[in-house]
Each structure stands twice: as structure tokens, then as C-alpha cells.
Chains A and B, each alone.
Chain A
Amino acid sequence: MIALETVAPVIEWQSLSPVLIVLGGACLGVIWEGVLPRRLRNPFQIVTLLAAIIGALTMLTLNFLHASLATDAATSVDPKVGLLAVGTLCSDGPSMAAWFALLVFGGLALLIFGDRQLNQGASAFASAAATTPGSDEEQLADTIGREHTEVYALGLFSLAGMMVFVAANDLITMFIALEVMSLPLYLLAAIARRKRLLSQEAALKYFLLGAFASAFFLFGAALIYGYSGSFQWAGIDSAISGGSTSGVAVVTFGDGILITGVALLAVGLLFKMGAVPFQSWVPDVYTGSPTPVTGWMAVGVKIAAILGMMRVFYVALGGIRWTWQPVIAVVAVLTMVVGVIMALAQTNIKRLLAYSAVSHAGFILTAVVGTQFYVGAGQLNAIGSVMFYLIGYGFATIAGFAIIMMVRRGSAEAWDLDDWAGIGVKNPVVGVLFAIVLLSFAGIPLTAGFIGKWAVFTSAWTGGYWWLAVVGIAFSLVAAYLYLKVLIKMFFAPPAEGVRVAKASPFVWIPVIISTIATLILGLLPGPVMQWLSTLEIFIR
């Protein structure tokens, strides 16, 4: 009898389970579309979505509680902190925290897809996306009440892509995750119920530019492979740092190929986070996409892109940080400046928030540049600061775009800033909630936005980039003016005629209330979350 000598790869099922559950939920969503009658699809999709998110969060919590995040990773015997799935993913403090954040925000943002009250019984998505806008077919689809219920499944796919992206341990995994997270978003961007041409234009722009960015990323990955002979972070790092004890790296080509590769890789990543000079898609795509989708992509993609970037640039490319840090510092300044200044000129609330999202990428980049990992025990390192900023930004963004869905002229969303005049007086509850969102964006104390700004600027300063922190603070003031302008309009201007706050279903209200309360709690008592983030330690190699 001959035994088969195949060694099966070790797959850490439990550690991977959060991603697998989300992907499973997405696949189930696709199956529902095929086997269920139309009227059952929506409830099944929503239950599947919630079950997937809650299941993934539960497994993640269990994993986290068992994972000992010891100070010294070398002496840690816990297999859950380490490389997963034959070294393609890493499970460490930052990736777990990012998964927590992505799952929570995913749950909140995708729940908003379920609202059917704001559009009089229909969802925010086109009834039949394949029909020509304004055609008879569209009319027909509207009349018989067709709808796209696969949006939830698409949302879950993008969520799974983001989760893999932040935990990727090599360039190929990262690239695949990039595509998994982006492709569903290109689709989702295209299927707004109203202003469909705008939505289709946005999707096309997003797709074309996104495809370019992916190509840049891939080209960069190829060049870095050419330099280092490895796709994995550890291999690239050892090739760069020269200490090639592993024997993997045999550097044949000069630094030119490495630097070019890094630059191209950076283009791909900076595009995804919407940093200047790769920001031009942001306002168009954020405005044209269905508003619930805008909320999700503003939060999810930003978290994924920034944490992914920190991982690549510090773990794999940390050896040449003196080369790229000044460049990214300049990008950070440009992003803050362009984001804030362009936002000042906007008269459309969605475009305004889009440029504000650009500026937030700049504020976060200050900490990415000034990263100093090795701080004392129990203190917040740069990853923790960035995480906290992203969490605060995420809650405010989700609530902000959800509230934009509620303010309507006639039956369409009122995007014109002038239409927002007096909303705070017409409907004080919505007014106060949106005020909290704006104050958090502006970084006014008692909101999460302030603590986040504080954290990233402190990180930048401690990391030696004090001037970047000062520039950041200066532009915070300009940005504050921007949000206050909106606030003034909402509360002190004479109310605009014909604009109302439409009745929304709990699908919108629950995320809005949770997000605004979280914004306040994180601003008043950031201690526990900070404490948790400061136990995360750094990226493993």
C-alpha cells in the first residue's frame, strides 16, 4: 500500500473565518438572486447581510480574545498572531483592528441600502440598471416594481476585498484584494435611482481611472519583484535592507527599478485613498453614486487604502523610508491644501463632503509619514492614531451621507447648499445630528474628529515631522471655516422653500443614531478605545 505523500497546506480556518463568513454571505446573496422569487429576495438579502456581519464580528472577537498580543512577537507562541494561509495574509493587531472597524462600518453602511421609505417604497437604486435612462423600459421596470437586490451581495464582496487588502502579506494578494474591493463598487456607483446619467458617468470615470490605478499598482509590483525577487513583504524588506540572510534576495538591478516600482505602487494606493494629485475622480464619483454607496466607499476604501499603504510602506519598504517619506509628506500637504480649498468653493453638499474626504486623507497622511512605531508600553503608536482617526471619520461620514439622503426637494435629494438653509430650524433633530457630524469633521473638541486630529498630529510631531503637524493644524482652521459655513446656513439662514426632511425608515435612522452617538462618545471618553488601540502593537513581518 502506497501512502500519498502530498502535504496539505495548513489553512488556519478559525483565524480566517471572519473573511470567509463575509465571502460566504456574499455568495449566498448571489444564490438568493437565482433561486428565490422576487418578493422574498430583499428580506433574505438583509437577513443574510446581518447574519454575515454579526457572525464575522463574533468570530473575530473570539479570535481576538484568544490571540495574545504579546509585546515581543518573537516570543509569542500563539499561532493566531502570524501568517495565515501559507503566508498570504497576516493576522496581527492592526489587521484585527481594521477588520473590526470594517465590519462595524460595513454593517452600518450596508444597512442603509435597505431603506425603502425615502423613495416612496423603492430603494435608492435603479429599478433596472440595464435600461436606458428615460426610456419606456425604465418606466416599465419602475411601474412593475423591479429592483436590484444584489446590491447587498456586492457590498459584502467589497467588504471582503477590503478585509483581505488590509491583511495582505504579499503584493499579489494585495492586488487581488484591490480588485475584489473595487469591482463591486464600480457597479454600485452606476445604479442610482435618480440622476442616472450622472451616476453612470461617475461609474465610468471611476472604472477607467481605477483600472489605470490598478495597472500602475501591478506594474509597480512587477518592478519591485524584479528588484527583490519576492512578492512577500519580508522578502522585499530583506532585499532592500541588504541583510539577505534568507538567501532569497539576489539583487541584480540597481535602485532605479526599485524606486520606480515604489512610485508606481504609491500611485495605485494614493489613487484609492483619493490623495492629491490622484483625487480628481473623488468629487464626481462621490456625487454621482447613490448616496448610500458614497457613504460606504468613502469609509471602507479609505480605511483599506490607508492601512494597506502603511503596511506596504513600513513593512516591505521601510528600508528606503528616507527616500519616500519626503515625497509622501509633500503629497500630504498638497492633499490637505487642495482638499480644503476646493471644498470651500463647492455649492453642492455631496461634492463638498467629497473634497472634505480628500482633505481628511491628507490629515491622516501626516501620521503615515511621521510614523514612529516604537513608543513606550501602553501608548498609542502611529497605527493606533491613524486607526482612531479613521474610526472617527467613518462614523461621521456614514451619518453625514445618510442625513443627506433625508433632506429632499420634492422627491429628490437636495444637494444644493442653498436648499439646506434653515434645515436646523425646520427639523432640529436632524439639524443637531448633522451639526455633530460637521463639528467632528471640523475637529472641534468633544467630538471624535478632534481626538483623531490630536492623535495623528501628535504622531507626526513625535515622528519628527513637526512642520507637517503645524501645516495640518493651520489647514484645520481653514477647514473649520468650511464646515461652519454650512452650519450657519443650516441654523441661521431663512429656511428654503420646498425643502423638507423626508421620513426615513429605521434602516437609515439606526446607523445615523449609532454613528452620531459614537462620534460623541469617542470625543468625550476616548480612553477605552485608545487603550485598546494602543495594545495593538505594530505590523508583523
Chain B
Amino acid sequence: MTFPLLTCLGLLPIIGAAILILPVRAAGKWIGLGFALATLGLAAAAVPVYLGDPTALTQTVPWIPAFGAYWALSVDGMGLTMVLLTALLTPLVLFAEWNITGKGTKWTSQAFAALVLLLEGLSLLVFMADDILLFYICFEATLIPMYFLIGGFGGERRSQAALKFLLFGLAGGLIMLVSVVGIGSFSQQAIGAPTYLISQIGVSLSGGSTWAWVLMLCFLAAFILKAPMVPVHTWLPTAAEEATPGSSVLMVGILDKIGTFGMIRICLTLFPVESAAIAPVMIVLALVSIIYGALAAIGSKNLLRLVAYTSVSHFGFMVLGIYTFTSVGLGGTMFYQVNHGFSTAALFLVLGFLIKRRGSANVADYGGVQSQAPILSGALLLAGLSGLALPGMSTFVSEFEVLAGSWSRYPWAAIVAALGTVLAAVYILLMYQRTMTGPATPEVEETITTDLTLKEKLVAFGLAAVVIILGLIPNLALSVITPTAQETLTQIGVADHQAPLGEEVPA
């Protein structure tokens, strides 16, 4: 057997978290960062192996034979990019939140590092899981570290926010549990033995039957709750407002992607017939999310809430891309997941640096920061522009792909979604204008006395650099993503719909 690279990748951060239970005191953050960097190293090592032979990393070991569950890990283009995103963001968050402690509590930076590492390990396993049970267990388990990250390190109303987050998460998880239990039962009837391997389940479900619909809807409901779409998004702004920016990065940048990831990996792959049938509904929901999220962002009085709402809008784009059933749209979504991770991380973290100085997240408490901290405001502008998908940034490429994919099948959807991109410019620039430009208010002058430190610059401009590099050379990512998108479509037997260039759009 070859070296179990993916297993090590998933377990290394969890081992790190376990080590951090020991009373290592000040060394805690160093150990945490060390493990996060080692994980990044392993993730990077997986890239050449994958490029050499995409199946070389696959691993399947019986885990709970009585249930037909396997310790099965593999990556495709989408999984690999998500793994890289997770592995990159984790050390960055640990680095950015170096001296974090709970407000008025005894929560230490060591606990923070341990929880973040646990979260990283579980998320990596979700993105690599090839077995529904494993996927489900890790999916549910990610809630626990995130819950403590919000509840232990958040603001004033952190415990309510944490509870709200957890209850929404658990509700989704338990709805999904119905499907997962059902799948075990159905595969047992169809094959004679229960199995949870994604590759084997597909055989056992006859498309279009009532049960296939029920199972698919339960999965979909869980993913809609996870990648929050209107109207079940309300937990996200609350949680993001109360959590520390670092936790929010992990929550929005990585955890919520499990929702869109799951739609592709489970709903599309296992239930192609039902997914195709429900596509129009999903597209409408996606459009509602895009517009509602953008409008709510414009109206937000709190900076962190604002970013959370922009994400609701972005998740709308991602879902739109998935249900276009075109390789361009699907590939766009896969790329969007990565870009959104980086750009939202930049926004949350730079705003975090700003809020730390001023001690408030209210938009009204700012004004004229530009003159006090020009580098900070520059960093915020860069992060903001990546959020509104400025050409040259990677977010532009993915947003364009999603719109193009949607245009080829549902032109009306593309038109409405394009409105979302305009609104995006409004909420970002309005936020920048209100906080950064103009004369500095006395409070701002008093509190914001220092510009970004070296550490903060590294974090902010490092993220911006990734977004710009991927924007200028999108093929770095697209070369692995596009084949996966095409393969997914072939697998579910949908003919790719080419964008009708130079043709009349059928009315």
C-alpha cells in the first residue's frame, strides 16, 4: 500500500489539537501554527501526486463493516482546491489572531489554536470523504469546534449566537441524517449489504422514485441551511457579528462551502434526475439570495454583518452555477468557492484589524480612516474590490463563468444575477466611502493611531496577492477544476450546453 497521504492530511491537525490539550502554555500557539503549516505542506505535497495520477491518492479501508461504512478518501479537482484553501487559510487565521483571548473569560489562545486545528482536520475530511457516513460524521462534528470558537471568543451576545449557529447546524444535520439512514437501508435492499460508498450507492437508487426524491430533498435542505440561502440564512449574520473575525473566516470561508460542495458531490452525483428537475426552483432561490443578500448588505449598520450578507449573495452565485448544469457554470462555482474563501478572509481579517483599533464594528463609528491609516484603508479597498469581482481579480473570472453558464441555459437568470454584481459594487464602495473617506472624526483620530503592523500587512497583502495571481493566471486552478466539472456532468449524463455564441438566443 502506498503512503496514505490523505489520511495523514486529515488526521495531522486533529493530532495537533489533541496535543494542545496538554498544558503547554505559551508554546501553544507555536505548536498550533507548526501543525497548521505541516498540514499545508502535506496538502501541497498532494498536488503533484494528483497531477500525476488523479486516482493515486484514493484510499478505501473498511471502517465499520457492519454498516458498510468505509474510511474512504479521495480528491477530485474540486476537492483538491478546497483542501488547499483550507490548508492555506488555517495558518493564516492562527497568525492573524495570534494574541487572541476570550473577552472576560479564561479562554486562551491555546484553546483557540486547538479548536481551529480540530476544525481544519474535520473540514479536510469532509472535502476528501468518499463515504456518506464519514462525510456526515465530519460534517456534523465541525459544528462542535465552531460552536466553541463563537461561544468562547465572541462578543457580548456570543452565547446566543453560538446556540443559534449550532441549532441551525444540527437541524440541517438531523434532516440529513434521515437521508443517510435511509440510504443505508435502501442500499441494503438493493445490493444485499448496506454500503455508504458514494461510488456504490449510485447503483442502488432508481431515479425518479418517491424515495429518491425524499432522500435528495433531505440532503438538499441540509446543504441549503449550511450554505445559507435566503430564507434560512439568518444564523450567519448573527454568528459573524458575534464571532471574532478569524472564526468568521473559517465559518464563512470553509465551513459554509460544505453546503455548495455537498450539493455537487452528493445531490448532483447521486440524484441527477431529481436535481435536474428541481433546478428551476434552486435557481430562483439562488437569485433571491443574490439580490436579498446584496440589499441587506447595503443596509447593514455593522461591518461584520455586512460581510456576512455579502456572502449570502455570493453563495447565491455559487448555487446558481451548480444548477445551470453546464461545465462552465459548474466549473465557475468550483472556482468561486476558492476565490470567495480568499476574498472573504481578506475582508474579515482587515476589518478585524480595523475593529480592534476602534473597538466598534458599527459603520457609523467610522469616517476618514484613510488619513489616519492609509495602508489599512488600501488593504480594505483591495479586499473589497476582490469582493465585488473587479476584473483582474480571481473573483471576476469565477463570477463571469457562473453568469456565462447561466446565460446559456437560463438567460433571464443571468440578467437578474448581473444585477447582483452591480449591487455588489454599491455595498462595497458605500462601505468604503462611509468608513474611510472624508475628514477623520475625533474618535477615529483618537483611537486609530497606528497603521497596519508588519504581521497584519503580511496577512492582508498575502491574501490579496493570491486573489490577484489567480485572477491573472486563472488556469492555475481552472486546469484541475474544469476537467472535474466536465467529468461530473458526464457522470450524471447531462449533455453540456454550449453558450450560444453568435446564435440567436431561443426565446
Contacts and interface: CB of A to CB of B under 8 A. Distances in A.
B454 interface: no
Contacts of B188: 375-376, 379, 462
B66 A534 contact: yes
Interface string A445-467: 11000110011011001100010
A484 B163 contact: yes
Contacts of B148: 491
Interface in B106-141: 106-107, 133, 136-138, 140-141
B14 to A, nearest CB: 10
Nearest to B106: A425
13 contacts: A375-B188, A378-B66, A379-B66, A445-B140, A446-B137, A454-B67, A458-B181, A462-B185, A477-B170, A493-B159, A530-B67, A533-B66, A534-B65
Interface string B162-188: 110011001100110110011011001
B64 interface: yes
Interface string A483-504: 0100010011100000000000
Contacts of B140: 444-445, 450
Contacts of A445: 136-138, 140-141
A526 interface: yes
A: contact size bracket: 35 or more
A474 B181 contact: no
Contacts, number: 106
A525 B69 CA distance: 11
B493 to A, nearest CB: 29
B159 A527 contact: no
B193 interface: yes
A520 to B, nearest CB: 11
A476 B174 contact: yes
B158 A492 contact: yes
Interface in B63-77: 63-68
B4 interface: no
Contacts of A451: 64
B151 A492 contact: yes
A473 B67 contact: no
Contact of B182 (A446, A461, A488): A461
Contact of A454 (B159, B171, B181, B192): B181
Interface in A509-541: 525-527, 530-531, 533-534
B152 interface: yes
Contacts of B107: 425
Contacts of B66: 378-380, 384, 527, 530-531, 533-534
A493 B105 CA distance: 10
B62 interface: yes
A493 B178 CA distance: 33
A17 B175 CA distance: 47
B79 interface: no
A527 B162 contact: no
B151 A488 contact: yes
A526 B181 contact: no
Given A378-B65, A444-B140, A446-B141, 19 more contacts: A379-B188, A384-B66, A444-B144, A445-B138, A446-B144, A451-B64, A454-B181, A457-B177, A458-B67, A458-B181, A462-B185, A484-B166, A488-B163, A491-B152, A525-B63, A527-B66, A530-B64, A530-B65, A534-B66
Contacts of B151: 488, 491-492
Given A379-B193, A492-B159, A461 B181 contact: yes
A270 B448 CA distance: 68
Interface in A211-260: none
B4 to A, nearest CB: 16
B321 interface: no
B64 A461 contact: no
Contact of B177 (A375, A473, A491, A530): A473
A446 B171 CA distance: 17
A27 interface: no
A491 B162 CA distance: 12
A469 interface: yes
A450 B68 CA distance: 16
A470 B178 contact: yes
A354 interface: no
Interface string B398-442: 000000000000000000000000000000000000000000000
